[in-house]
Amino acid sequence: MSYYNEAIIKHIVTNIAEGGKEEYTKFFNSALAKFDAKSPAELDDDKKKEFFNYIEKNYTGDDKKESKIDKLRGIIKGIAKEEVQKLNKAKNPKN
């Protein structure tokens, strides 16, 4: 899973699914304005990484949400690792 997908999932779970949507949306939109963009998709890869790092560093959520995110991140990474292993096995059935 790419850095951007993980960052997007983290922010969706933390701030939209868990609540605080209005506050997060306001912060997210102000960050977009700071980066002179209407959407993260408009940013090149380096700026996109800088954008999500900025959000992660500057947006404050509560500690309970962060521990849930860490747990979900581990689950997502485990799923991604399994998928990569399946793809590699399909490409190289002898291994």
Please state at what angle helix 3-12 crosses helix 45-58, rounded to 10 degrees: 30
* pLDDT at 14 (0 to 100): 66
* Each residue's pLDDT tens digit, 5-59: 677 667 766 665 555 667 778 889 999 999 999 998 899 999 999 999 998 888 8
Domain hosting 48: range is 3-91
| Calpha distance 71→14 (Å, rounded) | 12
More confident residue, 75 or 16: 75
Give dist(CA 9, CA 72) in Å, integer: 9
Q: In total, how many domains does the chain have?
A: 1
Residue 18, C-beta contacts closer than 8 angstroms, at least 6 positions apart: 65, 68
Is pLDDT at 78 greater than 60 in this prediction? yes
Residues 6 or more apart in contact with residue 13 via CB below 8 angstroms: 68, 69, 72
pLDDT bin (cut points 50, 70, 90) of residue 95 is low
